[in-house]
């Protein structure tokens, strides 16, 4: 390695530390538990053309990979001639951001003197954006909350108080939402200052040469990782629960010398409800799945994302168009990873795991007074929960782990601090992992209820209740999920419903599929499963 390459490698390591400090700032300043507890965020640095140079390790692929496509929209909509030092921009537009209104993306330009050299951007999920609330019941995006076009949160250091006033009057949790936006802006400002310190220390005028070095090395490594995959066309289908009827997800994956394209022709048509997926979000989870299968150690940036493309006709559920409802686009979007991994498994059978629970089982509730005459204040609450992942070709699946989203578990204590909720039970769900030579990851059982005179207006957004995760190579399917009240009453897995003050909601999260013939599972592994209470 030459002295120049060593120099760039040192700067690369320093840049990653800058981004981690950016992400940590967001976590520490966030108001919402989804950000500060679960890490449902992204942070990254971009060159002046809007190409992502690097991302923080902390974050989720649904945010990072959509944010990578968002910054060019900021440049185009603001206009290069209107980008000034001290500016901060934001949007939650589903088709220019992350795919639904609940994610706020904030973008901050970086200047060295009067020279514009790049951007920092960050994204976080906020607890409320008005409208119907976070749930799948809307039939147009207009019902799902306030939609913020790309605009200036601040210009030349001056806050846009008119925008702040509009937001304050259109959301239920004003302090949390506005606090999180300020946190996003603060995280970008932290990144900006640290980058300027780095440039000064290394006597660099900008990041252009470093970006070129990163892109060239990443591009070469990405293409080398693709090389062993036999060129051709691979197809896979998956049926999931959907809303009003089951949804068929179909992919035709074409591998060439230039990269991979996932085409979703044949996928079910759009739903009338908010489970539709803008294609930018489907692309995020396709790309993520391919990179973790082929090159999990590679950095995520413009060059590593470039070889992976998607296509789909208008009118299918993975290519939602304005103004289709998209509020809970994660439910189907998270399945894109397993869908595409199932296709490439034909070329990489020794790499690809069985299907897992996929979509998060989010607990989204509006706590309201059970007595209409009560003066109890309303509270918005959100908790992320995960089922089991699919078994791997050489290892059991992971229990209660968010794949592919990557968000962390939100603790019982943190959740109970934000509102009138008691989590009575949170335990591993016995017998939920699919049997196989390697067992699928287990789901969990969660029992929750309102307290202090409240009831829950609960927005259910669950899947794999009717269509469990499939095993691979002879492995058995994982257990399907279940949703019901503690008195045995049925509870729909989709849509807004009431959890009365005297009742508890019970969620039995799905398990992952098994891998390999169950007859090949070792006696030692079975004894361990029984000793740990994983199977009865």
Coil vs helix vs strand at 329: coil
Q: Tell me phi and psi for residue 446, to 5 degrees.
A: -125, 130
Q: How many CA atoms lie within 13 A of 186 on its CB side?
A: 14
Taking Cα atoms as reference points, which of 445, 407, 456, 422 lies closest to residue 34? 407
| Last residue within a domain, chosen from 304, 326, 351 | 351
Q: Could you tell me if residue 222 is inside a domain?
A: no
Bridge partners of residue 380, in order along the sequence: 366
Written as one string, the DSSP assignment of 226-256 is HTTSPPEEEEEEEEE--SSS-EEEEEEEEEE
**Per-residue model confidence (pLDDT) at position 361:** 96
Note whether 282 and 400 are same-domain residues: no
**Would you say 103 and 92 are in contact if contact means Cβ atoms under 8 Å apart?**
yes
pLDDT band at 64 (very low <50, low <70, confident <90, very high): very high
Burial letters for 230-264: b for 16+ Cβ neighbours within 10 Å, e otherwise? Answer: eeeebebebebbbbeeebebbbbbbbeeeebbbbb
pLDDT digits (tens, 9 = 90+) for 77-118: 999 999 999 999 999 999 999 999 999 999 999 999 999 999
**Would you say 446 and 458 are in contact if contact means Cβ atoms under 8 Å apart?**
no
Note whether 146 and 158 are same-domain residues: yes
pLDDT digits (tens, 9 = 90+) for 123-162: 999 999 999 999 999 999 999 999 999 999 999 999 999 9
Q: Could you tell me if residue 214 is inside a domain?
A: no
Coil vs helix vs strand at 519: helix
**Hunting for tokens 């706590």 — which residue is that?**
367
Q: Find how far residue 20's CA is from the centre of its chain.
A: 18
Q: Could you give the CA distance from residue 199 to residue 498 in angstroms, rounded to a whole number?
A: 55
Q: What whole-number percentage of the chain has pLDDT above 90?
A: 93
**Would you say 476 and 516 are in contact if contact means Cβ atoms under 8 Å apart?**
no
Rounded to the nearest integer, the mean pLDDT of the chain is 96
pLDDT at 4 over 80: no
Q: Could you give the CA distance from residue 218 to residue 54 in angstroms, rounded to a whole number?
A: 11
Note whether 110 and 247 are same-domain residues: no
Q: Which domain holds residue 326?
A: 228-351
Q: Could you give the CA distance from residue 26 to residue 180 in angstroms, rounded to a whole number?
A: 8
| Last residue within a domain, chosen from 206, 237, 258 | 206
| Residue 361, both tokens | 């089982």
Mean of pLDDT values over 518-532? 97
Q: Could you give the CA distance from residue 223 to residue 257 in angstroms, rounded to a whole number?
A: 8
pLDDT digits (tens, 9 = 90+) for 222-238: 999 999 999 999 999 99
Taking Cα atoms as reference points, which of 57, 75, 77, 55 lies closest to residue 66? 55
Taking Cα atoms as reference points, which of 279, 282, 273 lies closest to residue 241? 273
Q: How many residues does the chain have?
A: 536
pLDDT at 386 over 80: yes
Note whether 248 and 367 are same-domain residues: no
**Per-residue model confidence (pLDDT) at position 338:** 98
- Phi/psi region, residue 467 (left: phi>0; alpha: psi -120 to 50; beta: rest), is beta
**Would you say 472 and 355 are in contact if contact means Cβ atoms under 8 Å apart?**
yes
- The number of helices, as runs of H, and strands, as runs of E, in the chain is 12, 19
Cα angle value 320/511/346 (rounded, 5°)? 65
**Would you say 322 and 279 are in contact if contact means Cβ atoms under 8 Å apart?**
no
Taking Cα atoms as reference points, which of 240, 232, 228 lies closest to residue 293? 228
Note whether 290 and 179 are same-domain residues: no
**Per-residue model confidence (pLDDT) at position 247:** 98
Q: Could you tell me if residue 300 is inside a domain?
A: yes
Mean of pLDDT values over 342-366? 95
Note whether 316 and 358 are same-domain residues: no
Q: Could you give the CA distance from residue 218 to residue 6 in angstroms, rounded to a whole number?
A: 16
Q: Could you tell me if residue 211 is inside a domain?
A: no
pLDDT digits (tens, 9 = 90+) for 251-281: 999 999 999 999 999 999 999 999 999 999 9
* Residue 497: how many other CB atoms lie within 10 Å: 16
**Would you say 456 and 371 are in contact if contact means Cβ atoms under 8 Å apart?**
no
Q: Could you tell me if residue 240 is inside a domain?
A: yes
Say which residues have a Cβ less than 8 Å from residue 119's Cβ, sequence separation at least 6. Answer: 45, 46, 48, 50, 71, 74, 107, 108, 109, 110
Label the pairing between strands 88-91 and 52-55.
unpaired
Q: Could you tell me if residue 104 is inside a domain?
A: yes
Q: What whole-number percentage of the chain has pLDDT above 70?
A: 100
| Residue 154, both tokens | 């601040």
Note whether 329 and 373 are same-domain residues: no
Coil vs helix vs strand at 35: helix
Note whether 100 and 33 are same-domain residues: yes
Taking Cα atoms as reference points, which of 73, 100, 69 lies closest to residue 323? 100
Q: Could you tell me if residue 318 is inside a domain?
A: yes
Note whether 338 and 360 are same-domain residues: no
**Per-residue model confidence (pLDDT) at position 292:** 94
Taking Cα atoms as reference points, which of 348, 362, 177 lies closest to residue 253? 348
Q: Could you tell me if residue 178 is inside a domain?
A: yes
Structural domains counted in the chain: 3
Judged by average pLDDT, the poorest of 4-8, 404-408, 505-509, 529-533 is: 4-8
**Would you say 264 and 361 are in contact if contact means Cβ atoms under 8 Å apart?**
no
Note whether 464 and 494 are same-domain residues: yes
Note whether 500 and 532 are same-domain residues: yes
| Last residue within a domain, chosen from 328, 351, 374 | 351
pLDDT digits (tens, 9 = 90+) for 420-471: 999 999 999 999 999 999 999 999 999 999 999 999 999 999 999 999 999 9
Q: Could you give the CA distance from residue 236 to residue 372 in angstroms, rounded to a whole number?
A: 51
Rounded to two decimals, the pTM is: 0.96
Note whether 26 and 38 are same-domain residues: yes
**Per-residue model confidence (pLDDT) at position 1:** 65
């Amino acid at each position: 390695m030459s002295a120049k390459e060593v120099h760039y490698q040192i700067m690369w390591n320093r840049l990653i530390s800058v981004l981690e400090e950016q992400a940590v700032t967001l976590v520490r300043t966030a108001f919402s538990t989804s950000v500060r507890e679960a890490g449902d965020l992204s942070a990254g640095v971009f060159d002046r053309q809007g190409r992502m140079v690097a991302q923080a390790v902390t974050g989720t692929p649904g945010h990072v990979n959509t944010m990578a496509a968002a910054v060019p929209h900021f440049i185009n909509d603001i206009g290069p001639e209107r980008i000034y030092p001290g500016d901060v921009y934001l949007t939650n537009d589903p088709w220019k951001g992350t795919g639904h209104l609940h994610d706020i993306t904030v973008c901050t330009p970086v200047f060295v003197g009067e020279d514009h050299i790049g951007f920092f951007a960050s994204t976080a999920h906020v607890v409320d954006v008005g409208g119907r609330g976070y749930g799948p019941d809307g039939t147009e995006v207009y019902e799902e909350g306030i939609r913020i076009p790309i605009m200036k949160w601040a210009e030349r250091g001056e806050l846009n108080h008119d925008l702040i006033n509009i937001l304050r009057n259109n959301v239920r949790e004003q302090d949390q939402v506005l606090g999180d936006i300020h946190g996003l802006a603060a995280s970008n400002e932290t990144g900006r200052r640290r980058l300027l310190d780095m440039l000064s220390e290394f006597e660099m005028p900008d990041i252009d040469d470093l970006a070129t070095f990163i892109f060239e090395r990443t591009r070469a490594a990405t293409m080398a990782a693709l090389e062993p995959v036999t060129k051709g066309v691979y197809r896979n289908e998956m049926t999931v629960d959907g809303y009003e009827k089951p949804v068929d997800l179909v992919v035709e994956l074409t591998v060439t010398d230039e990269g991979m394209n996932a085409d979703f022709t044949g996928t079910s048509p759009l739903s009338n409800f908010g489970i539709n997926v803008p294609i930018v979000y489907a692309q995020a989870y396709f790309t993520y799945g391919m990179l973790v299968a082929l090159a999990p150690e590679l950095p995520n940036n413009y060059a590593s994302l470039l070889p992976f493309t998607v296509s789909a006709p208008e009118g299918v559920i993975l290519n939602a168009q304005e103004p289709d409802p998209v509020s809970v686009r994660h439910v189907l979007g998270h399945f894109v990873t397993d869908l595409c991994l199932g296709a490439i498994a034909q070329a990489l059978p020794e790499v690809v795991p069985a299907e897992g629970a996929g979509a998060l089982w989010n607990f989204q509730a509006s706590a309201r007074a059970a007595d209409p005459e009560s003066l109890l204040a309303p509270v918005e609450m959100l908790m992320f929960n995960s089922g089991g992942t699919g078994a791997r070709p050489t290892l059991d699946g992971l229990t209660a782990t968010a794949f592919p989203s990557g968000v962390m578990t939100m603790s019982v204590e943190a959740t109970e601090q934000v509102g009138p909720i008691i989590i009575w039970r949170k335990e591993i769900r016995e017998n939920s992992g699919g049997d196989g030579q390697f067992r699928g990851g287990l789901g969990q059982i969660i029992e929750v209820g309102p307290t202090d005179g409240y009831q829950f207006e609960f927005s259910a957004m669950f899947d794999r209740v009717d269509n469990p995760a499939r095993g691979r190579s002879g492995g058995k399917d994982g257990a399907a999920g279940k949703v019901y009240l503690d008195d045995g009453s049925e509870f729909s897995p989709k849509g807004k419903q009431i959890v009365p003050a005297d009742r508890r909601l019970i969620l039995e999260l799905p398990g992952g599929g098994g891998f390999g013939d169950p007859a090949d599972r070792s006696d030692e592994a079975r004894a361990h499963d029984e000793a740990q209470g994983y199977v009865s």
